[in-house]
Chain A
Amino acid sequence: MTVEPDAQTTATGVISLRGATLGYGDRILWSGLDLDVTPGEFVVVLGPNGSGKTSLLRVLLGLQPLTAGTVRIVDAPPGRGNRRIGYIPQQRAMEESLVMRGRDLVGLGLDGHRWGVGLRGMRARRARVDAALAEVAAGGFADAPVGRLSGGEQQRLRVAQALVSDPEVLLCDEPLLSLDLANQQVVSSLIDRRRRTAGTAVLFVTHEINPVLPLVDRVLYLVDGRFRIGAPDEVMTTETLSELYRARVDVVRVGGQIHVVGAQPGLCEQPHHLHDEEPS
């Protein structure tokens, strides 16, 4: 076997998409997407509802095949068995009756995918879980039922759950949704610390860039099949977004924050009120 020309892969990208296209039936979510995320990079994925932000994460997790193009994540095609990816889902209220403590939630992030009962290596497991809990300062409530904890506490446990397996890539799906401002800062600074100390690449899907704006290296903005990739200053401009939305959109910067104002209603298929919560 000869080694194929290396145009399709780069040595540095822990996430690498080439000509990636995803569609359902006639509807194309995005096409021709090229993206390389390097270790330690913080990339935010923005876009209106239904633009395929969460679908991109599903592709990277191997839950959704691409319609065309190639995708590699941590030197392998996505799919089952890639244990070098951490995943933080949206914060959803957990049932109060859930038979699980914070400690169990984190432990499942470490070895919940393995077969067997898991009685071997209990001590080493406990040490790693304790360390992950300490990282997010969750030791104080680790033994309480998760359903009784606040949203912020639950989401800190989610961060510990994603990081306990020492991932090289962290995929986050609106992890700050429905958190108050203080908890948004706690959770995003935990994620930021991780990528600075361990070089974990972060792909962060959100509808609201401002809570993480100081951390962002690059933005991937998806609108109705079109997209733009670049630094926040390049992408989050009136010109670029108006081009993407194919309608007049004003980008206003107020006190270090970015606000996107649609000049006309009904710019795209769905209203792009960026502050709306995206249904799952």
Chain B
Amino acid sequence: MDQLFDFDSTIALLSFPAVRTALVAGAILGLLAGVLGPLIVSRNMAFAVHGTSELSLTGGAAALLLGINVGHGALAGAVVAALVLGLLSRRSSEHDSVIGAVLAFGLGVGVLLLWFYPGRASNKFGLLVGQIVSVEFASLALLGGCAIGVLAVLAVIYRPLLFASVDPEVARARGVPTGTLSLVFAVLVGVATALGVQTVGALLVLSLMITPAAAAVRITANPLRATVLAVVFAEVSAVGGILLSLAPGAPVSAFVTAISFLIFLVCWTISLVRGRSRGVATAAVAVPAVPR
């Protein structure tokens, strides 16, 4: 247990370039996840993110078999998955079942591809739980480039996308191309998810893409404030998780998920307490004050 919070060894480890690279990667990912998160939550896309992240594994497995960069394969897999899910489920009522069907099939293909691979796949396949400390400079450049691309596209489509996400019927009436926007957004989410898969792993990508935003929207209905809070929460989870994992040498994922879930619990409690105090306030108005 002493090992868990060893301040000196954390400082010592910070001097390693690999550790710094990991921190930068975590920070970029936190920013991306925090900005996209509230829109994902508004559009009820948590399961789509989960599906996309797992299907990026299939892309990674295909890349492994073809002898190309696993990260590029995962990215391609996630984008294809996002497009397929977006095209197949134009009506939100079909979303969950379509994702379930595509997800199961895609993972099956992934398993088959890994079975074809002659070597020991687990050595090169850190995609399930992530290996952020193994992020190389080349991957960091890819991560940064993709992040800038995603944020730039998002900056252009942000307002109509928000309109289409929170008020689709009127947005359509006002001429917002809601169908096209939801496909573009699915691809942005796919790219961000694939990047997340490579750092925190497919199984835990939800903890950065969903949990901070889900926490933020519990305590504010202001879209701008929700985005700022989600970025802060995601940064604290990602960077904080990496820092805490250094001294014990424990898996990053465990810390990232723990921190983001803790933040979620706090926000959830705040919203509960607020709801209760609002009820009390209403009751106080209803009951006339009795003079002593």
Q: Identify the A interface with B (CB < 8 A).
A: 61-63, 79-83, 85, 87, 89, 97-101, 104-105, 108-109, 111-118, 144-147, 158, 161, 171
Contact = CB atoms under 8 A, between A and B. Distances in A.
Contacts of A116: 155-156, 158-159
23 contacts: A62-B175, A79-B175, A81-B175, A85-B173, A89-B169, A89-B170, A99-B38, A99-B41, A99-B221, A100-B167, A108-B163, A109-B174, A112-B159, A112-B162, A112-B163, A112-B167, A113-B174, A113-B175, A115-B157, A116-B159, A144-B221, A146-B221, A161-B170
B162 A87 contact: no
Interface in B170-211: 170-177
A108 to B, nearest CB: 5
Nearest to B154: A117
Contacts of B158: 116-118
B280 to A, nearest CB: 16
Contacts of A117: 155, 158-159
A158 B157 CA distance: 23
Nearest to A158: B170
B273 interface: no
B173 A63 contact: yes
B277 to A, nearest CB: 14
B223 A104 contact: yes
B222 A112 contact: no
Contacts of B41: 99
Contacts of B82: none
Contacts of A161: 170
B217 A87 contact: no
B81 interface: no
A97 to B, nearest CB: 7
Contact of B223 (A63, A85, A99): A99
Contacts of B157: 115
Q: Which 3 A-B pairs have the closest CB atoms?
A: A112-B163, A145-B221, A80-B175
Nearest to B165: A99
A104 B222 contact: yes
A114 B159 CA distance: 7
B55 to A, nearest CB: 27
Interface of B: 38, 41-42, 155-160, 162-163, 166-167, 169-177, 217, 220-223, 226
Contacts of B167: 100, 105, 108, 112
Contacts of B220: 99
Contacts of B226: 99
Given A99-B41, A115-B159, A116-B156, A108 B221 contact: no
Contacts of B173: 61, 63, 85, 87, 89, 171
A145 B223 CA distance: 10
Contact of B160 (A63, A109, A113, A147): A113
A91 to B, nearest CB: 11
Contacts of B163: 108, 112-113
B155 A98 contact: no
Nearest to B176: A113
Contacts of B175: 62, 79-83, 113
A111 B160 CA distance: 9
A111 B159 contact: yes
A98 B176 contact: no
A98 B221 contact: yes
A117 B159 CA distance: 6
A89 B173 CA distance: 9
Contact of A112 (B155, B176, B221): B176
A199 to B, nearest CB: 21
A104 B160 CA distance: 13
A108 B169 contact: no
B171 A112 contact: yes
Contacts of A87: 170, 173-174
Nearest to A88: B170
